[in-house]
Amino acid sequence: MAANGQIKIFTLKIDGKDVSARSDQTVLQVCRENEFFIPTLCHLEGLSNIGACRLCMVEVAGQRKLLPACTTMVSEAMEVTTTNDKLAHYRKMTLELIFSERNHTCSVCVSNNHCELQFLSQKLGINHIRVPYRFPKFAVDASHPYFILDHNRCILCTRCVRVCDEIEGAHVWDVSGRGIQAKVITELNQPWGSADTCTQCGKCVNVCPVGALSEKGRSVAENTKRSGFLPYLTARRKEKI
């Protein structure tokens, strides 16, 4: 975006193809507008971007490092590569590491067949996990009257944290711990059912890409999500419709 706040139109190359973009767009937005496939897990239309999952890494000419497409703004004459062997290698490795960190057993997961992690793994051709599984033991928090939190399925995308803070305005969720100890918590690491700030709106459950958050009473493979509502909700609130 220009310094005076005016939006410009840039021309850039994505995988050798000339495209135009608004200066307030991210590389990911422009790629998706032009139907270039870039995998994402932490990104969700309607929420802020944090570049946490590292699946949307792209190559930008002149940059030594790979850049996350979701947090990289477009610039004039930028040359972006979305698909090559190196990127495919890193993306697969990233997914494998996510799988190894927790207990993602699709066949008995409430989100089986409705899971973004599972979908991406199939799309990117993950058929083996080449690193050892860690098999952590996390207790399931089923104290909430309507919802269940299963850390064993969590990928720490923090969509729940952001949707609760940015859209619902309740900020029930946070992340505690660092690195491998990190986990999402409700209030100050209290059982979800005792969280007074929770409005029980269920937005966190609907944006969760995996089976970490689900509605109570859903059996295996029954956890369908409605995450498409977010852009509309945000737009309607801005417009005060």
Partner 1 sequence: MPKTITIDPVTRIEGHAKITIYVDDNGTISDAQFHVTQLRGFEKLSEGRPFTEMPSLMARICGICPVSHLMASAKACDNLMAVKVPVTGHNLRKVMNMAQIIQSHALSFFHLSSPDLLLGMDADPAIRNILGVAAKRPELAKDGIRLRQIGQQMIELLGGKRIHPSWVVPGGVNAALTAEHRAAMLKEMPEIKEIVRRALNWYHPVVKHYQEEIAVFANFPTLFMGLVNKNGEVEYYDGTLRFMDSAGNIVSDGIDPSEYDTWIGEKVESYSYLKSVFYKPMGYPGGIYRVGPLARLNIASKCGTPLADEELAGFRSIQKGPVSSSFHYHYARLIEILNCAERVEDILKDDECMNPHVRAIANPNCFDGVGVSEAPRGTLIHHYRIDENGLIKWANLIIATGHNNLAMNRGVLQVARHYLDGLNPKEGMLNRIEAVIRTFDPCLSCSTHAAGQMPMQIDIQAPNGEILKTITR
> Given candidates 71, 143, 190, 234, which one binds partner 1 under the rule CB under 8 A?
143
Residue 175, exposed/middle/buried by CB under 10 A (0-12, 13-18, 19+)?
Answer: middle
Which DSSP state fits 164? I
222 touching partner 1, by CB under 8 A: yes
Q: Which is nearer to partner 1, 22 or 218 (CB)?
A: 218
> Given candidates 220, 229, 233, 234, which one binds partner 1 under the rule CB under 8 A?
220
Q: To the nearest whole angstrom, how small is the minimum distance from the Cβ of residue 133 to partner 1?
A: 14
Contact between 96 and 110 under an 8 Å Cβ cutoff? The reply is: no
Q: To the nearest whole angstrom, how small is the minimum distance from the Cβ of residue 93 to partner 1?
A: 29
Buried/exposed code over 6-30 (b: 16+ C-beta within 10 A; e: otherwise): eeeebebebeeeebebeeebbbbbb
Residues 56 and 85: their CA atoms lie apart, in Å, by 14
Q: To the nearest whole angstrom, how small is the minimum distance from the Cβ of residue 108 to partner 1?
A: 5
Binding segment for partner 1 among 74-82, 176-184, 197-205, 216-224 (CB under 8 A)?
216-224
Contact between 182 and 192 under an 8 Å Cβ cutoff? The reply is: no
132 touching partner 1, by CB under 8 A: no
219 touching partner 1, by CB under 8 A: yes
Binding segment for partner 1 among 10-18, 87-95, 107-115, 225-233 (CB under 8 A)?
107-115
Token representation of residue 139:
């207790």
193 touching partner 1, by CB under 8 A: yes
Residues 158 and 205: their CA atoms lie apart, in Å, by 12
- The binding site for partner 1 (CB under 8 A) comprises 107-108, 110, 112, 139-140, 142-143, 148, 150, 193, 216-222
